[in-house]
Amino acid sequence: MPYVTVKMIEGRTPEQKRALVAEVTEAVSKTVNAPKENITVFIEEMSKENYGVAGVRFSDK
């Protein structure tokens, strides 16, 4: 029963998230031969204020 967590900066549309869940599910199903009904995908969105790279928050770019 695979569980996949995708962490990303907020701002994607519901359609983009729907497509992401479908594509990740398909990839996991093909790769590990798991039935799609057993695959769970979590999307964790982070605000730009709470995420930084190389010492700079995304909200400050």
Are 52 and 58 in contact, with CB atoms under 8 Å apart? yes
Would you please indicate which residues are annotated as catalytic (active-site) residues?
A: 2
The CA distances from residue 22 to 32, 46, 59, in Å, are 16, 21, 29
